[in-house]
Structure 1
Amino acid sequence: MKHLLVIVSVFFAVQLAAQSRYESGMQKGLEQLKEAKTADDMIAASGFFERIADAEKDKWLPYYYAAYANHISGWMNAKADKDKVSEKTKDLLGKAEAIERNSDTYCLRQMVAVMQMTVDPMARYQSYGAEAANALASAKKADPANPRVYLIEGQYMKNVPEAFGGGKAVAKKLAEKSLELFATAKPASPFHPSWGKDQAEQLLAACQ
């Protein structure tokens, strides 16, 4: 009986140590992401999360943040090859989705499609525009209360001509909806996505 208790105690000690390392790593990664000032900083944060993900293998969040940081680096560097950045992002996001698909992974899918569409909007609108719309619809269906869904929809619609159903008036309503949801949003854990409120406030101000 004593041997069994020792084995059980050792097992739980190992589990707790592994969990502690994961939580410590995620906290450090999120701080690195928050403090990133340049595209290189974002790429470094992406690599940090990717290493956590490769070590854990069964958690979607590190791969998600690795993909997210890589994606943001593409906007921070005006000279970045947007297609190359997007392909890397999709590779990382695919690994997250292999573990779990949810509203936030679909949101990032939409964001990537929009980035690739901006490379050549006229030529790519039909393909990447449809991809972005499908991802957004899936994000909204997966969690209608996710404030980031309405944020990214508003950011997109702000740049769509009024003649095609977009414009500032449409984007303003979406920004307001996003902020309304941010007011009551409660992430499932300290590590789940919570970004976007600042961007929604900026979007609303730009639509006034």
Structure 2
Amino acid sequence: MKLKLSLAILFLLQLTCMAQSKLSSDKLTSKDYLDLALEKVNTAKSENDLQNSINEIKRIEGLDKNYWLPSYYVSYFELTQSFFTSLDKKEALLADAKERIEKLLEDKSSDQSELYTILGYYYYAKIAQNPHKNGPIYYKDVIANYKKAISINPVNPRPRYLLDLFEDNVNSFMGKKDSNLCEKLQKDKKLFEAFNIADKNYPNWGEKEVLEHLKNCDKG
């Protein structure tokens, strides 16, 4: 009798734990799942780790069609991955990223400044794919999209710093030097310091890169 009672109590406890676990899971939103996925990206140590995180964020895309950030991050991470992956994977990553960006641009509830920023970043990635061939074709698209992003949100630091660095690269290619680059990057740094993100998952990348480039200014 005591054995049957103990088993019954154990069974009830298991049911309770399962119910609590499901209840906890049901309370998680797409924002919560994205937060967890982005934490994994921050600890990624290989291309395979990054790809697994991208796949996980792709699954989050389906949870809330009105939440633009999962598709944004898939695009951003695919563009980033294209810089160091093998040649046979680059084109598929770039094409998938651009398709997502263009679809998001149709959604006026998304942050258009951030989207035009990574659209410019897409064209920069295309140039990096084959600089001599694609540079003359896409450099105007890089500049135009960064400027479009700035016109939409003048205090967004990401398109400003990316534009400053890209124009410096173009000048270097032409045998020129932008003597005002460090001054521009200092302004970009201040923009990053003053920029307020809408929530913790909002795009906030770029500041570390600006600080790294400013170290070279200090050396000079």
TM-score class normalised by the smaller sequence? 0.7 to 0.9
Per the alignment, residue 158 of structure 1 pairs with: 168
CA distance in 1, matches of 2:184, 2:90: 26
Q: Considering only aligned residues, what root-mean-square deviation do their CA atoms show, in Å?
A: 2.5
> Relative to 1, partners in 2 of residues 1:44 and 1:174: Cα closer, same or farther, differing over 3 Å?
farther
Does residue 52 (structure 1) correspond to residue 57 (structure 2)? The answer is no
- In the TM superposition, what are the counterparts of 1:1-208 in structure 2 within 5 Å? 20-77=28-85, 79=87, 81-99=89-107, 100-162=110-172, 164=174, 167=177, 169-207=179-217, 208=220
Q: Which residue type is aligned with residue 113 of structure 2?
A: S
Distance in 1, Cα, partners of 2:26 & 2:210: 36
What TM-score, normalized by structure 1, do the two folds share? Answer: 0.81
In 2, distance between residues paired with 1:59 and 1:19? 17
> TM-score scaled to structure 2, two decimals?
0.77
Q: Which runs of 5+ in 1 are unaligned?
A: 1-16
Equivalent residue pairs, number: 193
184 and 70 in structure 1: CA distance in 2 versus 1, 3 angstrom threshold: same
* C-alpha displacement of 1:40: 2.0
Deviations 1:10-50 (A, max 9, x none): xxxxxxx8773223202102101211222222222222212
Cα distance change, pair 194–163 in 1 and its aligned pair in 2 (3 A): closer
Unaligned runs of 5+ in 2: 1-24
Partner Cα distance (1:63, 1:169) in 2 = 38
Which of 1 and 2 has greater Rg? 2
| 8 Å CA contact retained: 1:157, 1:170 | no
CA change 1:129–1:64 in 2 (3 A) is: same
